[in-house]
Amino acid sequence: MTGSDPAVGAGRFAPSPSGDLHIGNIRSGLLSYVRARQTGRRFLWRIEDLDRVKAGAADSQLEIFAELGVTPDEPPVVQSGRAEEYSAAIAKLAADGLVYECYCSRKDIAEAPSAPHAPPGAYPGTCRNLGEGERKSHRRRLEANNRRPALRLRADNREHRVDDVLLGRVDALVDDLVLRRGDGIFAYNLTVVVDDAASGIDEILRGDDLASSAPRQAYLAELLGLPQPGWLHVPLVLNESGQRLAKRDGAVTYQQLRSLGWAVPDFFAWTQQSLGFGDVGGRWKSVDDMISGVDFARMSTAPMVFVAPADS
């Protein structure tokens, strides 16, 4: 498959180039590639570089996957080059009366009484219905501090649902999420929806820490008149205390494990064991073995614990 036919659907891996990929990120990225290959989709790559960029990380992430035998079917999409598309999406929502300026600081939001039935952390609606006079004075106050208002979606805490291949029905309340932050950076929920649609992504496979964001993103796609993708959230790899893997856990990144002697086939052997597919297709040594061995219908939704070797 050459991968250039947009009529063929696509899957993707969209790591933030904010640091080194750890074994859990690698497992999710490999699963995304395997799913695309098993279902005849293109496999695309997106560099989510709007925030927290570590120099060299985007190239190093692509190199790691190339070593593992995975290359995207098209050149990666780079978010920092797509401001016009994000602005156009906000303009469309604004034309429908669905965008408002928000002048709240994080502290203001934390201290405001929350709206009835809103999930913890949901925006309390402070700036939703301000009059023009109040807006002017808030704008002036922010300008004096060199700040700009954020832009929020008028979503009014509505329930939205998606169906996930592994998790089944995922419901969440959609609050007035941020579309563009006060520092001018386009917000994750907006950029992901605009980019997935523009690339023809019709199934999103990623870690299940983002499952609760899927209803918001689906709702935003609906408002923007974009096609709805399918969803497949895979379990995360956690440390022994049940938290996300981090530096303090020892050798968890690709580079650290390589320097402790792991060869490329060892990553596939570990992935096979971690997914509980030990009895399928012999011992995996390559991504082709993984394509033959992964059975999404038999995949567990339970997180996997990685006991990191001590980082010497």
CB 201 within 8 A of CB 232: no
Smallest separation (angstroms) from ligand GLU to the CB of 206: 4
Smallest separation (angstroms) from ligand GLU to the CB of 56: 16
Closest CB to ligand GLU among 48 and 203?
A: 48
CB 223 within 8 A of CB 160: no
Give CA 282 to chain center in angstroms: 32
Tokens linked to 128: 């939703």
The bridge status of strand 150-153 relative to strand 99-102 is antiparallel
Tokens linked to 231: 């969803």
Closest CB to ligand GLU among 180 and 216?
A: 216
Closest CB to ligand GLU among 16 and 272?
A: 16
Closest CB to ligand GLU among 79 and 272?
A: 79
Give the list of residues 6+ apart from residue 67 with CB closer than 8 angstroms, or none.
264
Nearest to 44 by CA among 78, 18, 92: 78
The length of the chain in residues reads 312
Closest CB to ligand GLU among 127 and 197?
A: 197
- What is the number of alpha carbons within 13 Å of residue 300 lying toward its C-beta? 11
Closest CB to ligand GLU among 29 and 293?
A: 29
Spatial separation of the C-alpha atoms in residues 312 and 306, rounded to whole Å: 17
Tokens linked to 78: 């780079």
Smallest separation (angstroms) from ligand GLU to the CB of 104: 25
Give the list of residues 6+ apart from residue 300 with CB closer than 8 angstroms, or none.
235, 275, 276
Residue 197, phi then psi, degrees to nearest 5: -65, -45
Smallest separation (angstroms) from ligand GLU to the CB of 217: 8
CB atoms inside a 10 Å sphere around CB 158: 11
Smallest separation (angstroms) from ligand GLU to the CB of 147: 26
Smallest separation (angstroms) from ligand GLU to the CB of 207: 7
Closest CB to ligand GLU among 19 and 309?
A: 19
Smallest separation (angstroms) from ligand GLU to the CB of 274: 19
What would the DSSP string read from start to end of 130-172? --HHHHHHHHHHHHHTT---EEEE---SEEEEEEETTTEEEEE
Closest CB to ligand GLU among 14 and 155?
A: 14
Closest CB to ligand GLU among 48 and 202?
A: 48
Smallest separation (angstroms) from ligand GLU to the CB of 222: 17
Helix (H) or strand (E) segment spanning residue 268: helix 264-275
Spatial separation of the C-alpha atoms in residues 161 and 159, rounded to whole Å: 7
CA angle 301, 303, 308 (to 5 degrees): 150
Contacts to ligand GLU by CB under 6 A: 14-16, 48, 192, 206, 210
